[in-house]
Structure 1
Amino acid sequence: MDRSVNLAIVGATGLVGEAIVKLLADRKFPVGELFVLASENGAGAKVAFGGKNLTVGLAESFDFTQVEVAIFAAGAAVSQALAEKAADSGAVVVDLSPAYRYEPDVPLLVSGVNDELLAGARERNLVACADAATVQLTRSLIPLLELGPIADVTVTQLQAASATGKAGVDQLAQQSVRLLNGLAPSEAAQAQIAFNVLPVSGQLQENGYTSEELKLMLETRRILGERVGAVTATVVRVPAFYGHAQSVTVRSIQGVSAGQALALWESQEGLEAGDSEDAQTLSPVASAEGEPCMRISRVREDMEASGYLSYFTVADNVRWGAALNAVEVVEKLIKDYL
């Protein structure tokens, strides 16, 4: 990018917002002026960027005509209240919430998967980013599609507490401290996530799936279209602060070997494939210490040679699945379409 861009981040004091600010600095994003915004609870706080401490402004009263791009990382309610106002002001809104993911005239983006949809960003000045779990699944599937369509996908996701933001991280931390001190996990009527596994994540629906499972299934089908057949998901919550893990089994119509899959994944930027003698290096906790990426391991063909391939992926849902995906979408938007 040869020019600087005025940019606003709505939700700059949240987990994803903080990660976006750090990535902009790490990647030397050509920011002209950065406006960090939040609700009344976060307004007035300080955010470090570019050697300065920026004061967090109130999102509700911000004049979006000052920016070319506005990244919304504050949840669906805030996006529903302010995103179209920002878009009407001329800014292209890149929204990380589920508010617009299912609207047919709003592109649903995963960086490196369907970047061409950014050509329609100006139709409503709105672009939706897929959920971090969808980013993780589709980024592992898209290289395999080079060999042909996939008949079906089955994924079990081990979902970290940070999927629900700072509230989820705080809940896990507080419950852990209480249990380690011999107390009940919570004074409130909350499910115990510390030292536990919850088989239901999100709201249970009439068809037996949860809202988290349907989100992963529907977003994946919308992004990959007819190239992928049935997608079945199970999402369980685990007592990890950061990092989703996905156990995936696919059946390719043309067939794909473990060797072919590894070669395809290794050719992709942001993916690291293959097993390691040190199992710790395959964990999302370890990956958070370095450059954000997705790690793919445990690649194996089924023993009956019936065409199934299974593998395991881990990624930091905040830094990689959400923040980096959004920043890369903005970079490509500015480079090619603004």
Structure 2
Amino acid sequence: MRTINLAIVGATGLVGEAIVKLLEERKFPVGELHVLASGNSAGGRIAFGGRSLTVAEAESFDFSTVEVAIFAAGAPASQALAPVAAEAGVLVVDLSPAYRYDEAVPLIVADVNDELLAQARESNIVACADASTVQLLRLLKPLNDLAPVQEVVVTQLQAASATGRSGIDQLAQQSVRLLNGMTPSEDARAQIAFNALPVSGQVQENGYSSEELKLMLEARRVLAGQPLSILATTVRVPVFYGHGQSVTVRALQPLTAGQAMTVWEGLQDLVMQENDDPQAMSPVAMVEGEPAVCVSRIREDMEGTGAISYFSVADNVRWGAALNAVKIVEKLLKDYL
């Protein structure tokens, strides 16, 4: 595989840092790696491949010097700079929500709908699905291949890192204050430490939160071409890294736990946890920092309707976001560059 010049916009953020580490771990064939961020972070240093790279300012970067740019800096940066990079002939892989609902831009979950990468050159932009969607669909797609899925009910336990470094800091600071007998915060922010919040994101007019709608709409778009009912509830929990998802699936034909385990057994970066003793395992701790999804508690509907339920957990930063983006770039390089 030939080398390519690559830029990472938002390299100093949680996801950007994870992408840099994964590129090195997976021995991605990088020619020149350019680590970019806002002016506030420019001048910092990032280690890669035994070198110390200087963080450059994204706004003034010449994108014509690279072939691929991974954007991990949020929607405003992507809206401002992704078109500039695309116009320069660069393939943009964007992790923000800026282009996820643009019909001219393919929305990708690696290993689920890679065939849409053939459309990447039409706009020179590829949208990465949200980490929550990646986690749901990596397990759902093999079941859908067995029998078309008709209904999915998912309750997501969302980690603090879903909101970036600020979410991590908020949970840490509130935990320290509460353990020292203080109020959780000096401002009006909701208490997340030692708590569970039934709303994540902004509540919309229809009663769903923005995080729930994101999961439902993205899943329907990726699994296009079939009637699919998805009902999502997202709860914020005091965990630094790792989304948990409790999922119930009903398909056109009955599914069994054995069938699910068989199709999942062959998937890369997936671990099936057989020990169902809650005192002997902590799924979130198992996957924190690991590029894998863990699935457990696979069971059939007691009423005999043919539905199955399971619980999955994955590091939303390293696996759901960063690894998905890196896999997309690997597939682009292999087949389309």
Q: Please give the residue correspondences for 1:29-68 in structure 2 after superposition, counting only pairs within 5 Å.
A: 29-68=28-67
Note if contact 1:282-1:295 (Cα within 8 Å) is conserved in structure 2: no
Once the two structures are superposed, what CA deviation does each residue of 1:188-228 show, in whole Å capped at 9, x if it has no partner?
11000000000010000000000000000000000012345
Tell me the residue number matched to 2:185. Answer: 186
Tell me the residue number matched to 1:219. Answer: 218
Deviation at 1:186, TM superposition (A): 0.7
Tell me the residue number matched to 1:286. Answer: 286
Deviation at 1:265, TM superposition (A): 0.6
Once the two structures are superposed, what CA deviation does each residue of 1:101-158 show, in whole Å capped at 9, x if it has no partner?
0000100000000000000100110000000000000001001012121110000000
Identity %: 67
Distance in 1 between residues matched to 2:291 and 2:177, nearest whole Å? 32
CA distance 1:281–1:64, change in 2 (3 Å) = farther
Indicate whether 1:96 and 2:95 are aligned.
yes
Distance in 2 between residues matched to 1:223 and 1:285, nearest whole Å? 29
Q: What secondary structure, in the 3-state scheme, does the structure 2 residue paired with 1:225 have?
A: coil
Q: What secondary structure, in the 3-state scheme, does the structure 2 residue paired with 1:218 have?
A: helix
Note if contact 1:72-1:95 (Cα within 8 Å) is conserved in structure 2: yes
Q: Which amino acid aligns with 2:287?
A: S
Distance in 2 between residues matched to 1:46 and 1:179, nearest whole Å? 35
Tell me the residue number matched to 1:127. Answer: 126
Distance in 1 between residues matched to 2:190 and 2:297, nearest whole Å? 31
Tell me the residue number matched to 2:205. Answer: 206
Worse overlay, 170-179 or 264-273: 264-273
Q: Which amino acid aligns with 1:283?
A: P
Question: Where has structure 1 moved over 2 Å in runs of 4 or more?
Answer: 277-282
Distance in 2 between residues matched to 1:169 and 1:336, nearest whole Å? 37
Note if contact 2:276-2:297 (Cα within 8 Å) is conserved in structure 1: no
Deviation at 1:40, TM superposition (A): 1.3
Distance in 2 between residues matched to 1:207 and 1:65, nearest whole Å? 44
Once the two structures are superposed, what CA deviation does each residue of 1:265-289 show, in whole Å capped at 9, x if it has no partner?
1111111224226656551322235
Distance in 2 between residues matched to 1:322 and 1:70, nearest whole Å? 15
Q: Please give the residue correspondences for 1:121-160 in structure 2 after superposition, counting only pairs within 5 Å.
A: 121-160=120-159
Q: What secondary structure, in the 3-state scheme, does the structure 2 residue paired with 1:19 have?
A: helix
Tell me the residue number matched to 2:333. Answer: 334
Distance in 1 between residues matched to 2:178 and 2:43, nearest whole Å? 35
Over aligned residue pairs, what C-alpha RMSD do you find? 1.1
Tell me the residue number matched to 1:230. Answer: 229
Q: Which amino acid aligns with 2:250?
A: R
Unaligned runs of 5+ in 1: none
Q: What secondary structure, in the 3-state scheme, does the structure 2 residue paired with 1:140 have?
A: helix
Distance in 1 between residues matched to 2:271 and 2:167, nearest whole Å? 28
Q: Which amino acid aligns with 2:322?
A: A
Q: Which amino acid aligns with 1:288?
A: E
Distance in 1 between residues matched to 2:209 and 2:196, nearest whole Å? 16
Distance in 2 between residues matched to 1:207 and 1:297, nearest whole Å? 32
Tell me the residue number matched to 1:76. Answer: 75
CA distance 1:232–1:50, change in 2 (3 Å) = same
Tell me the residue number matched to 2:164. Answer: 165
Q: Which amino acid aligns with 1:272?
A: V
Distance in 1 between residues matched to 2:247 and 2:91, nearest whole Å? 34
Once the two structures are superposed, what CA deviation does each residue of 1:23-77 show, in whole Å capped at 9, x if it has no partner?
0000000000000000012111110001011010000000000000000000001
Worse overlay, 203-212 or 274-283: 274-283
Q: What secondary structure, in the 3-state scheme, does the structure 2 residue paired with 1:152 have?
A: strand
Deviation at 1:307, TM superposition (A): 1.5
Tell me the residue number matched to 1:197. Answer: 196
Q: What secondary structure, in the 3-state scheme, does the structure 2 residue paired with 1:197 have?
A: coil
Q: Which amino acid aligns with 2:34?
A: F
Note if contact 1:276-1:282 (Cα within 8 Å) is conserved in structure 2: no
Tell me the residue number matched to 1:24. Answer: 23
Distance in 1 between residues matched to 2:116 and 2:224, nearest whole Å? 13
Distance in 2 between residues matched to 1:228 and 1:303, nearest whole Å? 25
Q: Which amino acid aligns with 2:313?
A: V
Distance in 2 between residues matched to 1:189 and 1:267, nearest whole Å? 47
Q: What secondary structure, in the 3-state scheme, does the structure 1 residue paired with 2:225 have?
A: helix
